[in-house]
Amino acid sequence: MTLAPNPDAVSGFFNTFSGIFIFLIAVATTMNTISGEFETGSITPLLTKPVSKNTVFLGKIVASFLTLIAIYAFLTVYVIVGSVVIEGSQNNLLLAPLGLFGLTLATMVWASMVILLGTLSKSSLVAALGSFGVFIGVTIVGTILSSVYGQTSVLFYAPGGGANGSTGSCETFPRSGTNFATGTDNLGYLLIQLVLNPSAVLNFCGVRFGPGGREGEIFTASSDTVATVALRALAVAIVYLAALLVVSWYAFRRSQIVESA
């Protein structure tokens, strides 16, 4: 048996590697980031050295960011080599670094949530479980909102998978064109699409239920160009990232070392 060559395997990787995968990577790299220092007690000698709390905090964030870049760089190279060997020559390999950057940024959104909970609770367990709760909550609420209420616009401004966009029409069935998620989780793929097809139009479909629970009707809730969608997701990711980090930074500055030895 021979596989049909797939020249888009690499960009496909950036499309599918999202959601729970990047969430778990975020948790794995940052659950101990600040909470671990509190838990082991090594925060005490650290904070009594002539390094400002701001520098300590910044150092932790930069270290998390670099760790994520390193993980994804490794993964990307692995995927590229694997795809070229198995699927043959690949399209748009020059855009892989952009995908890598988007993926890292997407993961940093969840990572900053983990860091915030870790800083507030000083517990890595709370950081991991608490952010998992947020992740599940956002996912469930998002699904309900989008499928039951036919509301997609709220998903544009939530972290995570976001709304599903389609290049095909919502009203025809089976749906034509390509579908992909457009949330902050998918920044890697979105940034690649931003370069490749900025003016392509994405339709966001909603479901409308008739009175008395009659069968739902699918309609086009909104339409945007890929450029708008990708840049909006980028802005949303940056706003979440900044807000979560600012709150963490404030919490870290205010934190006291009350634990008795």
Partner 1 sequence: MDTHVIQTENLTKSYGTRIAVNHLNLTVEAKQIHGFLGPNGAGKTTTIKMLVGLLRPDSGSLKILGMNAAGDKPRIRERIGYMPELPKFPKHLTGEELLDVYGRMYNIPKETRRKRIPELLKMVGLEGRGRDRIGKYSKGMQQRIGIAQALLNDPELVILDEPSIGLDPVGMVEVRDMVKEIVKGGQTVFFSSHLLAEVQQICDHVSIINNGNMLFTGTLDEVASKAGPSRRLVLEVQKASDSILHALKALSFATVNTNDNTYTLHLKTKDDVRAEISRAVSAAGGVILRMQEEGGGLEDAFMSLVGKEAE
Q: Quote the least distance from Cβ 155 to ligand ADP, whole Å.
A: 43
Query: Which candidate, 139, 116, 122, places its Cα nearest to that of 27?
Result: 116
* The residue type at 43: I
Residue 257 lies near partner 1 (rule: CB under 8 A): yes
Q: How many residues does the chain have?
A: 261
| Tokens found for residue 153 | 């616009």
* Given 1, 2, 3, 50, the residue binding partner 1 (CB under 8 A): 50
What is d(CA 81, CA 60) in angstroms, rounded to the nearest whole number? 32
Residue 3 lies near partner 1 (rule: CB under 8 A): no
* Closest-approach residue to ligand ADP (CB): 258
Residue 258 lies near ligand ADP (rule: CB under 6 A): yes
Q: Quote the least distance from Cβ 146 to ligand ADP, whole Å.
A: 46
Contact, 135 vs 47, CB < 8 A?
no
Which DSSP letter does residue 42 get? T
Burial label, 61 (beta-carbon count in 10 A; 0-12, 13-18, 19+): buried
Residue 260 lies near ligand ADP (rule: CB under 6 A): yes
Nearer Cβ to partner 1 (50/211): 50
Strand partners, 206: 219
* Given 52, 91, 143, 176, the residue binding partner 1 (CB under 8 A): 52
What is d(CA 152, CA 203) in angstroms, rounded to the nearest whole number? 10
Residue 256 lies near ligand ADP (rule: CB under 6 A): no
Nearer Cβ to ligand ADP (94/258): 258
Residue 2 lies near ligand ADP (rule: CB under 6 A): no
**Strand residues in the chain grouped as ranges (E):** 164-166, 179-181, 201-208, 217-225
Residue 62 lies near partner 1 (rule: CB under 8 A): no
Please report, as ranges, the residues that interact with partner 1 according to CB under 8 A.
40-42, 44-45, 47-54, 253, 256-258, 260-261
Please report, as ranges, the residues that interact with ligand ADP according to CB under 6 A.
258-260
